Amino acid sequence: MRLLAWHGTNQAFDRFDPDWLGFANPNEASRAALFLAMREGTAWAYAESAARKLIPDQAAHEARVAELLARAERASRRGAHDLSERLYLEAEEIETRALQAVPAGARVLLCEVALRSPLEVDGTSRAVVTDLGAVLRAARGAGHDGVIIRDIADTPAGAFEPDDHIAVFEPERVRIIEVRLAPEPDPEPAW
């Protein structure tokens, strides 16, 4: 079964990496599968949510902070406390700027999803709404390669009508076809 579906994010990438599952939504279900929506508008809701939570190129940001902290630790162990303090302050400044950053980088990815044996579930059922992680575990354990969740009302702000979502257990089954970027906001006038 091949489907076209949408994924919302604010990170730039050309393939899905299983290590990043659940990065923007750290819960059991999001860590168990890659989620896509059938409607572009639903994916935009997730992209905008990610832009509020993460800075674009989060991996490079985290690597830079980790590198500064490691250097600060090494400097401290050598007794170079002034250098250590400067490095800690630099890492803290980078983190503070990230926390205060204007949401940016929202994008949706049109994807082709190739599934052989997906389980289809009712997105309005109590089991799906209360413990989607358990539904995904059971589906995977039964040999399904994904779950199609019909008519689930699940967007970050709850602003959209129910949509079909697809949970894919193996991200390599998803191919990115097109990337659509959010328009950049108009700059504030400098009065």
> Measured between alpha carbons, how far is 138 from 131 in angstroms, rounded to an integer?
11
pLDDT of residue 169: 97
- pLDDT 10s digits, 86-97: 999 999 999 888
Percent of the chain exceeding pLDDT 70 equals 95
pLDDT in tens, 25-43: 888 888 999 999 999 999 9
For 136-146, write each residue's pLDDT tens digit. Answer: 999 999 999 99
What are the domain boundaries of the chain?
2-54+104-181, 58-100
Question: What b/e readout covers 60-96, taking b as 16+ CB neighbours within 10 angstroms?
Answer: ebeeebeebeebbeebeeeeeeeebeebbebbeeeee
pLDDT at 188: 65
More confident residue, 61 or 121: 121
Rounded CA separation 171/20 (Å): 10
- pLDDT confidence of 187, banded at 50, 70, 90? low
**What confidence score (pLDDT) does residue 157 get?**
72
| Rounded average pLDDT over 179-189 | 75
Q: What is the tens place of the pLDDT at every residue in 96-152? A: 888 777 778 899 999 999 999 999 999 998 888 889 999 999 999 999 999 999 999
**Looking at the domain covering 2-54+104-181, what would its CATH class be?**
alpha beta
Our measurement of the distance from residue 150's CA atom to the centroid of its chain's CA atoms, rounded to an integer in Å, reads 21
